[in-house]
């Protein structure tokens, strides 16, 4: 069993995981040791995603729809970490991240009586 675990550690390009082998006697213990060493911190991930979302600016490198969909993807990733960002935040934030060429849609949103969803924004 130890040889098989050593093979997987080398196969995955993780020679530094061999220390986990020395501490474990079974494959289950080995995988548990790996899980402890590489457990992703939800706080770090959420901080990174929030930073990405709040610093995003549209740069004309792709379509506006793809840009908004990327923002929705980040929003969904945050939701999986129990950080809920409602459309009442996402729509104005998305519009504010667009350059001045999009003044017409920003004005339409700001002067309208209805609240838009992110889906409404994508279809505009």
Reported as a single tens digit per residue, the pLDDT across 37-58 is 665 567 788 889 999 999 999 9
Per-residue pLDDT band at 1 (split at 50, 70, 90): very low
Domain shared by 54 and 89, yes or no: yes
Domain shared by 32 and 49, yes or no: no
Domain shared by 29 and 71, yes or no: no
Q: Does the pLDDT of residue 95 top 80, yes or no?
A: yes
Domain shared by 69 and 88, yes or no: yes
**Which of residues 23 and 91 earns the better pLDDT score?**
91
| Cα separation, 124 vs 120, whole angstroms | 6
Could you tell me the pTM of the whole model?
0.65
Domain span holding position 15: 2-37
Residue 22 neighbours by CB under 8 Å, 6+ apart:
none
Domain shared by 27 and 49, yes or no: no
Domain shared by 30 and 47, yes or no: no
Domain shared by 30 and 69, yes or no: no
**Which of residues 124 and 56 earns the better pLDDT score?**
56
């Amino acid at each position: 069993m130890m040889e098989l675990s050593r093979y997987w550690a080398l196969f995955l390009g993780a020679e530094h995981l061999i220390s986990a082998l020395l501490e474990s006697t079974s494959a289950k213990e080995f995988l548990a040791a790996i899980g402890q060493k590489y457990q992703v911190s939800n706080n770090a991930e959420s901080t990174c995603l929030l930073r990405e979302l709040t610093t995003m600016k549209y740069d004309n490198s792709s379509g506006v729809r793809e840009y908004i969909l990327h923002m929705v993807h980040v929003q969904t990733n945050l939701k999986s970490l129990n950080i809920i960002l409602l459309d009442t935040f996402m729509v104005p934030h998305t519009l504010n991240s667009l350059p001045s060429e999009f003044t017409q849609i920003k004005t339409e949103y700001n002067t309208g009586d209805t609240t838009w969803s992110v889906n409404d924004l994508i279809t505009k």
